[in-house]
Structure 1
Amino acid sequence: MADTPIRFGTDGWRAVIADGFTFQNLTVAAQASAQVLARTYPGEGILVGYDNRFLSERFAAHVAEVVARLGIPVYLSTCVAPTPAFSWGAKERGCHGALVITASHNPPHYSGLKVKGGFGGSVPPEVTAAIEQEMQSLQPLGSHKAPIHTWDPWPGYLAQLSRFVDLEKLKGSPAKIWVDVMFGSGAGGLKRLLGEKVIELQAHRDPLFGGFPPEPLPQNLQASAQIIAADPAPLKMGLVFDGDADRIAALDGQGHFLSPQILIPILIDHLAGRRGLRGEIVKTISGSELFVKVAQHYGLPVTEMPVGFKYIAERMMSTEVLLGGEESGGIGYLGHIPERDALLSALYLIEAVTETGQDLSTIYRALQEREGFTSVYLRRDLHLADQNQQTELFKRLQMDPPAEILGQQVIKHFDRDGHKFVLADGSWVMIRGSGTEPLLRLYSEAKDTGEVNTLLDWATSLIA
């Protein structure tokens, strides 16, 4: 039995180390997850991987022991690696799936367990629900153990990435390539592919992540931004990975932060325009409208999904999806696994800069001009003292949604994932609960920073 409740959020289970995330709770979560994976996905064995967080290798070894005592063969990673490396490994090796010890971008005192299916991506909501149900009726672990094999995830993963780009061409890029891996598990990945062309920042292990959550946000990247801005190279770019290297952001040559709202339109344009690739574009409800504009420029269909890459992954498994992207920087691609992958995103961005010879911000501004769509997009996180605040707010918005906001008529109200209000002038504001932390995420897109902040202030006032 778990000593505290275990709840799976948008991508697995996360909790504070030594509070909710204990060895006892991990036993329960790992046993239930392994049993459901083995029943749900054909294959043999389960991969176990881990990130750079405190005690991650110990937690991973414990998960391996639990799975082995279920009679399921285990492939335990010999080293830290990106989460998508374990997802790819599950598919490549024909396993039931993978269990990965990681809390991704959460603050340093968190750990977590991500559950990946044998197809190479996050399990869908019905499998998550089955795992939560399974935890209610677990039998004691047996004494007989299946073998625990060791396994290096990097060679197979890097070989897969190398199929998508011309590495020799990228090594000759006119751009100087900086990569801030935020002390995370993506360290060394691009250097193995592109050699000395890549200069890494914050690449050693630090379980405290330099005092910041390993999330690619401007306030966490000020030191790296200063380093890149001071570099005299005529063309340069900064790529940023989150703690388990499945999400990406960037810094331009002046050290300015480039959110996924900027990168995803660049990537759609690169893949559809310069590469000539075709397929559906899938975006989460919180993504910028420029995704849609660029997709329409190339005649590509667009599907909008709730927040959480598992929804995009489901779509990728049933449809030819060229790119599926979420506002937080998780992006998946045609021909790869239905999984977000920061290293593949990085390779495509390097390719775009290599082929244009232009700074990422220059490429983005040209896209805005071409589409006649200039906007500012911001997200604000609002920490909650009491989870009931969210419950009451969402109940109120559901029963009595505003007909207008700050004098603007509400022309659309989406309530499938939080509440998104689209206004008559094309601006919008969205309020949703985090699936991994006790906070509200507020989003807005409008024509300028002042309007965006005014809309975010309005959303903030609802919870005050």
Structure 2
Amino acid sequence: MPVVTNSIKFGTDGWRGVIGDEFTFERLALVAPVAAKVLYDTYFSTVGSRTIIVGYDRRFMAEDFARAVADTVSAVGFDVLLSEDYAPTPAYSWAAKELNALGALVITASHNPGKYLGLKVKGYFGGSVPSEVTKKIEEQLSVGVPLAATPGKQEKFDPWPSYTQALERKVDIAKLREAIASGKLTLFADVMHGAAAGGLARLLGNQVKEINSQRDPLFGGGAPEPLPKYLSKLFEVIKTHRETDKSGLTVGLVFDGDCDRIAAVDGEANFLSSQVLIPILIDHLTLRRNFSGEIVKTVSGSDLMPLVAALHNLSVFETAVGYKYIADRMLVAKVLLGGEESGGIGYGSHIPERDALLSALYVLEAIVESGLDLGEYNRYLQKQTGFTSAYDRIDLPLASMEVRSRLLQQLQTKPLTEIAGLAVIDCQTIDGYKYRLADQSWLMIRFSGTEPVLRLYCEASTIEQVHQTLAWAKQWAG
């Protein structure tokens, strides 16, 4: 049976599907050579290289799919550097730039449940390729790529050493190691069975207390996404630790499946998403590292981000949801930091890519140098800005793509004027519909582009109001 190419669609950061259904060796053997050719057509004149990096995470058969990618890409004439073991996605992005490759093809489904696997496409510059490139890949799938008269070379490489050395140069690594070794800081790392496993130990030593380290393609029955519902073990170990040892600072850091998203748990076992971490990082990097540049946030980012940016006279640029839009901005402007509410944070001084391990080092540096618990740091910034808020998000499955179309048409033809008893005073349509309400809270309604899922985001003064507004939105969606 021929492969149906029109059903292979790239989302905001790659193509993914259910293993054995949408994501198969046959389909990957079609997509990978086309992706390599599009990278060549787009970037060879800049790079002058025919090398493609191939990497993978710890998902089911990820290394087997990666070998298949290496074989099919070399068969059409490209040289391949195949990772000898799993590594974080940003390590492959770094390798693409550091090794002067055309780009990287990474086998991962990031934060999605274990039944999924996917392919991310990275450019020579060390970040996700823009939408125009993935569109070209989709368009050329029906044509394919002929076998080369002379296949390309295949070599194995270890992406970890160069990557971790680059990260070590970004922070005062000795100060962080000393803080952990002396007991001033106790660090727990929940790697969620993913590609972050062993990463912080490589950087900071074996006193890092890592949990969920073993490979588990089912991710404990959940998903490797840094959300409270998947972090019961981390909450428990931090609470237990603080009951027996109240000295020093305690923090838990959480990494998604391919280590490009981060969240944290403070010393009181409170969950802190990137909506909280990004303002802390803005403050730390400007105040103590004298970084400067633009702050780039997605439209779903917290209002605390621009308020903290204003404290340091930093401009703010807002994009659609999806880190590749932040990366696009990082390629043309001087950016201090770019971040999204789902945990992806990157830095203009590094590569245009979200990097959870580098974010972890900067968060730890902020704790050690300020002497504040993360929760205390957040409350300090709220006091400085006079702004206190709560945030939550719901991904609501819809019955079908037809239901999605009906709801979208309803938003377009019957604009909302009141939400949960509050008047709508503004509506942004950068990505979806973001409604600003009379009390300055906001609700954002956004549809997935590839599946029947409605994403609901809300920030308000209290968590009770957030839940009330999200409940209203769920009822509106039927």
Query: TM-score surpassing 0.5?
Result: yes
Contact 1:171 1:197 in 2 (8 A): no
**Where do 5+ consecutive residues of structure 2 fail to align?**
none
Does residue 36 of structure 2 align to residue 34 of structure 1?
yes
Deviation of 1:433 after TM superposition, in Å, equals 2.0
Match of 1:358, SS?
coil
Whole-angstrom CA distance in 2 between matches of 1:144 and 1:69: 8
Whole-angstrom CA distance in 2 between matches of 1:126 and 1:371: 39
Describe the shift of the 1:340–1:230 C-alpha distance in structure 2 as closer, same or farther (beyond 3 A).
same
Match of 2:206, SS?
helix
Q: Deviations over 1:82-136 (max 9, x none)?
A: 0000000000000000000000000000000000000000001111111111112
Letter in 2 for 1:86: Y
Whole-angstrom CA distance in 1 between matches of 2:475 and 2:8: 31
**Where do 5+ consecutive residues of structure 1 fail to align?**
none
Contact 2:238 2:252 in 1 (8 A): yes
Q: Deviations over 1:379-427 (max 9, x none)?
A: 1111122122112111110222112223322122112311111112110
Does residue 315 of structure 2 align to residue 293 of structure 1?
no
Aligned positions of 1:394-413 closer than 5 A: 394-413=408-427
Does residue 330 of structure 2 align to residue 324 of structure 1?
no
Aligned positions of 1:337-348 closer than 5 A: 337-348=351-362
Worse overlay, 229-238 or 87-96: 229-238
Letter in 1 for 2:53: L
Whole-angstrom CA distance in 2 between matches of 1:163 and 1:290: 29
1:429 corresponds, among 443, 450, 474, to: 443
Deviation of 1:198 after TM superposition, in Å, equals 1.2
Contact 1:398 1:415 in 2 (8 A): no
Contact 2:123 2:129 in 1 (8 A): yes
Letter in 1 for 2:192: M
State the TM-score, normalized to the length of structure 2: 0.95
Deviation of 1:356 after TM superposition, in Å, equals 1.6
Does residue 401 of structure 2 align to residue 380 of structure 1?
no
Letter in 2 for 1:336: H
Deviation of 1:139 after TM superposition, in Å, equals 4.0
Deviation of 1:142 after TM superposition, in Å, equals 4.1
Q: Which residue pairs with 1:176 in the alignment?
A: 186
Deviation of 1:437 after TM superposition, in Å, equals 5.0
Q: Deviations over 1:231-278 (max 9, x none)?
A: 033221000000000000011112221111111111111111222211
Match of 1:303, SS?
strand
Q: Which residue pairs with 1:226 in the alignment?
A: 236
1:211 corresponds, among 206, 221, 227, to: 221
Whole-angstrom CA distance in 1 between matches of 2:101 and 2:450: 27
Q: Deviations over 1:153-210 (max 9, x none)?
A: 0011011101100111001222101100000001111101110231111111111111
Contact 1:394 1:418 in 2 (8 A): no
1:81 corresponds, among 66, 87, 91, to: 87
Letter in 1 for 2:30: V
Whole-angstrom CA distance in 2 between matches of 1:176 and 1:434: 39
Letter in 2 for 1:93: L
Whole-angstrom CA distance in 1 between matches of 2:149 and 2:210: 45
Contact 2:89 2:258 in 1 (8 A): yes
Does residue 378 of structure 2 align to residue 364 of structure 1?
yes
Deviation of 1:442 after TM superposition, in Å, equals 0.6
Q: Which residue pairs with 2:27 in the alignment?
A: 25
Whole-angstrom CA distance in 2 between matches of 1:55 and 1:436: 24
Whole-angstrom CA distance in 2 between matches of 1:451 and 1:304: 25
Does residue 15 of structure 2 align to residue 9 of structure 1?
no
Describe the shift of the 1:459–1:412 C-alpha distance in structure 2 as closer, same or farther (beyond 3 A).
same
Describe the shift of the 1:363–1:94 C-alpha distance in structure 2 as closer, same or farther (beyond 3 A).
same
Match of 1:169, SS?
helix
Q: Deviations over 1:273-328 (max 9, x none)?
A: 22221110000011100001000111100011000000000000101100000000
Does residue 164 of structure 2 align to residue 150 of structure 1?
no
Whole-angstrom CA distance in 1 between matches of 2:154 and 2:305: 45
Does residue 419 of structure 2 align to residue 419 of structure 1?
no
Match of 1:462, SS?
helix
1:246 corresponds, among 240, 254, 260, to: 260
Q: Which residue pairs with 1:196 in the alignment?
A: 206
Letter in 1 for 2:469: L
Q: Which residue pairs with 2:456 in the alignment?
A: 442
Whole-angstrom CA distance in 2 between matches of 1:436 and 1:178: 35
Describe the shift of the 1:435–1:214 C-alpha distance in structure 2 as closer, same or farther (beyond 3 A).
farther
Number of equivalenced pairs:
464
Match of 2:58, SS?
coil
1:159 corresponds, among 157, 160, 165, to: 165
Q: Which residue pairs with 1:62 in the alignment?
A: 68
Worse overlay, 27-36 or 396-405: 396-405
Worse overlay, 273-282 or 133-142: 133-142
Tell me the percent identity: 54
State the TM-score, normalized to the length of structure 1: 0.98
Contact 1:68 1:147 in 2 (8 A): yes
Letter in 2 for 1:178: F
Contact 1:393 1:462 in 2 (8 A): no
Deviation of 1:22 after TM superposition, in Å, equals 0.6
Q: Which residue pairs with 1:278 in the alignment?
A: 292
Letter in 1 for 2:201: K
Whole-angstrom CA distance in 2 between matches of 1:176 and 1:273: 24
Does residue 120 of structure 2 align to residue 110 of structure 1?
no
Whole-angstrom CA distance in 1 between matches of 2:222 and 2:420: 35
Contact 1:175 1:357 in 2 (8 A): no
Letter in 2 for 1:186: A
Letter in 2 for 1:134: Q
1:120 corresponds, among 120, 126, 138, to: 126
Contact 1:75 1:150 in 2 (8 A): yes
Deviation of 1:449 after TM superposition, in Å, equals 1.4
Worse overlay, 135-144 or 35-44: 135-144
1:335 corresponds, among 345, 349, 367, to: 349
Describe the shift of the 1:283–1:289 C-alpha distance in structure 2 as closer, same or farther (beyond 3 A).
same
Letter in 2 for 1:189: G
Contact 1:284 1:325 in 2 (8 A): yes
Q: Which residue pairs with 2:322 in the alignment?
A: 308
